[in-house]
Chain A
Amino acid sequence: MTALLEVAGLGKRFGGFVALESIDLEVRQGERLGLIGPNGSGKSTLVNCICGTLRNEIGKVRFAEESLDGLSAHERTRRGLARSFQLPRPFASLSLAENIRIPLLYTVNARATGHLSRAAIDARCLELLGEVGLAGKAERLPRDLTQIEMRKLELARAMAAEPKLLIADEAMAGLSHGEVDEIIALLIRLNAEGVTVIMIEHIMRAVMEFSQRLAVLVAGRKIADGPPQDVVRDPEVVRAYLGE
């Protein structure tokens, strides 16, 4: 398997604070990677640098054998790099179907390959909402949704962009046991359809169940990367989480 995402020597500072220091990370095509780390360890900053929301000062990001340096966030999304946000950020004045319509119009239709007609877009919106069980609420506004439905909308919107790589940033925080299972099942199904997934999560049960490989960030540095069972026994990881 070839590397879909290659992060090499990535560094990010906020003033004098070093948020990320020479991060190297590879994600292979079709892989399910878990990314964990204590609060403030730089997980979201790393996601933001990969997705182009933040500019990294040092290091390179390559995606699908193409350098992403200097590309804005929407150009990266169009190249197949989608993300969901830690706190759901729906388009509040648009209905659920319209929320899905935005990435269809601006990502799928913006690619050379696809040009969906109006009717095809309408159908695809409903289909995507159906995949996360929200088809019945297609005409509702996001404010009518529960927390888990909001997370599902967030994932459906990311999926609408037809990504090669999906980064799910704490898609399960605050959800109940059963709801976590639902989201895991959803992400595994996506992965089975060929989408590479990076899951950022604090819920260890979910991470262990989902991940084929686990990377750990602590204080802006990657301290472990490998099979989940080995990583969680790594003394350095244990020290970072539990102290000495």
Chain B
Amino acid sequence: MASLAVSGAAPGLRGAPFTLALIAVAVVIFVFGRWFDSSYAFFIGYVVVQYIVLGTAWNILGGYTGYVNFGITAFFAIGAYSTVALHKLVPTLPLPAMIVVSGVLAGLVGLGTGYLTLRLRGVFFSIATLALAVVVQTLITNWDFVGGARGAYVLRPKVAPLIGGEYVQYLFLLMLGMGVIVLATARAIERSSLGYGFAAIRDDEGAAEASGVPTLKLKLIATTLSGGFMGMAGAPLPFYVTYLDPASGFSLNYAVNAIAMPLIGGTGSWLGPVVGAVLVGGLQEFLRVTISSAVNVLVAGVLMVAFVIAAPQGIVGLFQRKR
């Protein structure tokens, strides 16, 4: 088979070998980080990989299935605030367990949102997800247990469990692990029946139904996966920032970046959000340090507009064979 629109990358590794390759890359990155031994590098690395996870999660619904979700912060913050709540309830619970719980909760919210909103199409769906972000933010702001509008402090242990060294290294390692899981899932979806079903929905929902595609069920799978992964990406955040308030947890930056990065990298394949996150995330960090901490938002916005106009298939699309 020649190149397929759903999977932008040329035919290559798939399934277990792909996952093993991802793990190998993650291990190399982590070992290199330990050797480089700069906590600043780990802090940047965490942000970039977080955006890979967030962008890929958004892309499962937005890129593969064609439903543009503006409510990223809702799912992301549900993940983050689950950690805050769990940390208060069961302080001894290890972070990976919190990540799993966060993912499940955000996934359930994704499923519920799907049920309520997926009969809406196009821009109406997007507006509904925007409303979801506002609703969740209002609820969290008024929930005293997790700090309400005051925000909540989460004390970060000094030393990382299992691996030793600074705690941020542990956070980075967990985020890398999530990156492997999310990318392996995205890659597996691309060429599966599920991926073809998603693509059919994206192209023409009525024709998809007429071809036997159970569109509602597939869309619910997409919202659940997408929401769950976004929640997982948000789960370590309280430990990363140590102080979380609604204004930072629901920051527009997360939403803008999670949409901009797949669009810039290319929404057609798993590789797009990765390229977008590394490029835009890296550039933002560079500008934050060299020019100003405010300019990085501008970068995502300008690049997104530029790519939508000049290269709607994203960077990955530029390298794809023209058919």
Q: Is the CB of B323 within 8 A of A140?
A: yes
A77, B212: Cβ atoms under 8 Å?
yes
Beta-carbon contacts of B311-323 to A below 8 Å, as 1s and 0s? 0000000000001
Chain A: how many interface residues by the 8 Å CB criterion? 38
Interface string of B196-214 (1 = CB under 8 A from A): 1101101110111111111
Q: Nearest-CB distance from A47 to chain B (Å)?
A: 10
- Whether a CB of chain A sits under 8 angstroms from the CB of B302 is no
Contact of B197 among A90, A102, A139 (CB under 8 A): A102
Task: Return chain B residues, CB-CB under 8 Å to A83.
Answer: 210
How far, in whole Å, are A75 and B204 apart by their CA atoms in the complex?
17
Smallest CB–CB gap between A95 and chain B, Å? 7
Q: Is the CB of A91 within 8 A of B200?
A: yes
Most buried by A among B203, B207, B214: B207
CB-CB contacts below 8 Å: B9-60 with A: none
Interface check B251, CB cutoff 8 A: no
Measured in the bound complex, the distance between the Cα atoms of B211 and A110 in whole Å is 11
The chain B residue with its CB closest to the CB of A110 is B212
Closest to A85 in B: B207
B215 at the interface (CB under 8 A from A): yes
Residue pair B210, A53 in contact (C-beta under 8 Å): yes
The answer to whether the Cβ of A105 comes within 8 Å of any Cβ in the partner chain is yes
The interface residues of chain B lying within 8 Å CB-to-CB of A144 are 323
Q: Given contacts A95-B2, A140-B323, are A74 and B212 in contact (CB under 8 A)?
A: yes
Looking at the complex, which one of B202, B206, B212 makes contact with A78 (CB distance below 8 Å)? B212
Contact (Cβ within 8 A) A102 B202: no
* Interface residue? A31 (CB, 8 A): no
A207 at interface, CB cutoff 8 A: no
Chain A residues within an 8 Å CB radius of B268: 93
A161 CB within 8 Å of chain B: yes
A219 to B4, CA, bound (A): 45
In the complex, whether A141 has a CB less than 8 A from a CB of chain B is yes
Is there an interface contact between A106 and B206, defined as CB atoms closer than 8 Å?
Answer: no
Report whether B197 and A73 are in contact in the complex, using a CB–CB cutoff of 8 Å: no
Contact call A139/B323, Cβ cutoff below 8 A: yes
Residues of A within 8 A of B209 (CB): 52-53, 72-74, 77
Mark contacts of A84-101 with chain B using CB atoms, 8 A cut-off: 1 yes-contact digit, 0 otherwise.
010001111111011001
Return chain B residues, CB-CB under 8 Å to A106.
193, 197, 200, 211-214
* A91 proximity list for chain B (CB < 8 A): 199-200, 203-204, 207-208
Q: Does A122 contact B (CB under 8 A)?
A: yes
Separation in Å of the B10 CB from the closest CB of chain A? 14
Q: Is A32 an interface residue (CB 8 A)?
A: no
Q: Is B1 an interface residue (CB 8 A)?
A: yes
Q: Does B5 contact A (CB under 8 A)?
A: yes
- Nearest chain A residue, comparing its CB with the CB of B194: A105
Residues of chain B from 278 to 309 with CB closer than 8 A to chain A in the complex: none
Residues of B within 8 A of A51 (CB): 210
Q: Determine the chain B residues whose CB is within 8 A of the CB of A152 once the complex forms.
A: none
Which residues of the partner chain A approach B5 to less than 8 Å between Cβ atoms?
Answer: 93-95, 98, 141
- Cross-chain contact A122 with B210 (CB below 8 angstroms): no
With a cutoff of 8 Å between Cβ atoms, the chain A residues found around residue B210 in the complex are 51, 53, 73-74, 77, 82-83, 85, 158
B 204-242 binary contact with A (CB < 8 Å = 1; else 0): 101111111111100000000000000000000000000
A90 and B200 alpha carbons, distance in the complex (Å): 9
Nearest Cβ on chain A to B204's Cβ, whole angstroms: 5
Q: Which residues of A contact B199 (CB under 8 A)?
A: 91, 93-94, 98
Given contacts A91-B204, A91-B207, A110-B212, contact A105 B197 (CB under 8 A): yes
- Residue in chain B with minimal CB distance to A158: B210
A56 close to chain B: CB less than 8 A: no
Provide the residues of chain A in CB contact with B207, threshold 8 Å. 85, 89-91, 157
The answer to whether A98 and B196 touch (CB under 8 A), given A92-B203, A93-B203, is yes
A110 to B6, CA, bound (A): 22
Contact B212 A101 (CB under 8 A): no
One of A73, A90, A98 near B4 (C-beta < 8 A): A98
Known: A94-B5, A95-B5, A139-B323. A74 touches B213 (CB 8 A): yes
Contact status B203-A161, CB under 8 Å: no
Q: How far is the CA of A93 from the CA of B320 in the complex (A)?
A: 14
Does the CB pair B323–A141 fall under 8 Å?
A: yes
What 1/0 mask marks residues of chain B from 178 to 206 whose CB sits below 8 Å from any chain A CB?
A: 00000000000000010011011011101
Q: Name, among A51, A72, A106, A110, the residue most crowded by chain B CB atoms within 10 Å (CB to CB).
A: A106
Task: Using A53-B206, A89-B204 as known contacts, say yes or no to A74 and B193 having CB atoms under 8 A apart.
Answer: no
Identify 15 new A-B residue pairs, CB closer than 8 A, beyond the known A53-B206, A93-B202. Answer: A53-B209, A74-B211, A83-B210, A85-B206, A90-B204, A91-B207, A94-B5, A98-B196, A98-B199, A102-B196, A106-B197, A109-B193, A140-B323, A158-B210, A161-B211
* Cβ-closest 4 pairs across A and B: A107-B212, A106-B212, A91-B203, A73-B209
Q: List 6 A-B contacts (CB under 8 A).
A: A74-B212, A74-B214, A93-B199, A94-B4, A94-B200, A158-B210
